[in-house]
Amino acid sequence: MLGEDEMIAANRGYWEAVVESHFDSDFYEVDKWLSTGLSMREREEDLLGDLTDKDVVHLQCHFGKDSLSIAAAGARVIGIDYSQTAIEKARELARRVGLFERCSFEICSVEEVAVTFVKDLADLVYLSLGAICWIAKIDSWAKAVDHLLRQGGVLFMHEVHPLAQMVERVDGNWSLSGDYFEKDSPMIDESEGSYVDGSDDLGTFKTYIWNHSIGEIVTALTSRGFVITHLEEHSWTSFLNAEGMTKSTNEHFVQPDGWVQLPLSFTLMATKR
């Protein structure tokens, strides 16, 4: 088994390699997003309310699409990611849409946030699907969130449910394939390309991900004085979690009738007291 630093370096190499493929993919629909005015997801708009002149930090922002949607809604945004290629693409996209003055992008890992950025920087810390599984220790993530948020600031996260991280469809049924709780040893994935269509020609990557239970996530926050104000588990997610799922009219992937219905994603909001 590699050391943690070596595993994180391997993961970073994966993210460096997939940026261009992701940017051009149907999964991220950049051209559609550009043509419809950089809009945020409707459900997130309803939960977050008016973001005008709010200071926002988007952790693990990839190439910045969600960061720029938040900036277009009136916020001042800093997008953070440890992939230099992703940050360069995000800066390019910010210039292209005319939001470079409202949305900046910085190369930084979550673990380095507390030594890279000043405290009490943000009114809102935002995370979207597929972020925390790349963090070995959920407490290091909670430390970064705590460092960034001002008193009264809000964390918003829509994430893959930890139960969905540990199951797969086998012979028409959900089957356990991993651990629910955080462990020092990660789950290892070795597959071609990435999760977007048409990326198989990128070659094979070995990546390392860590699961974090709902209880571990909540405890990491509440032990630092956060108050959980919203926690909702969803039977849908924003990507094809398993073959046979269907896309609903609101572009969520759902589990068909007849399947055992599992939580596939969750939304959590917490306020720093």
pLDDT in tens, 239-264: 888 889 998 887 799 999 999 999 99
Task: Write out the two tokens for 39.
Answer: 């809009």
Q: Beta strand 149-160 with 122-127: parallel, antiparallel or unpaired? A: parallel
- CA-to-CA distance for 211 and 164, rounded, in angstroms? 10
Residue ranges of the chain whose pLDDT lies below 70? none
- pLDDT for the residue numbered 251: 77
- pLDDT for the residue numbered 192: 87
- pLDDT for the residue numbered 104: 98
Q: What is the dihedral of CA 11, 15, 21, 25, to 10 degrees?
A: 90
68-112 pLDDT per residue, tens? 999 999 999 999 999 999 999 999 999 999 999 999 999 999 999
- pLDDT for the residue numbered 201: 78
- CA-to-CA distance for 236 and 107, rounded, in angstroms? 32
Task: Write out the two tokens for 175.
Answer: 């089957």
Burial class of residue 239, CB neighbours in 10 A (0-12, 13-18, 19+): middle
- pLDDT for the residue numbered 234: 97
Residue position matching structure tokens 């292209």:
96
Residues in the chain: 273
Task: With residue 163 as reference, give the H or E element that holds it.
Answer: helix 162-165
- pLDDT for the residue numbered 21: 94
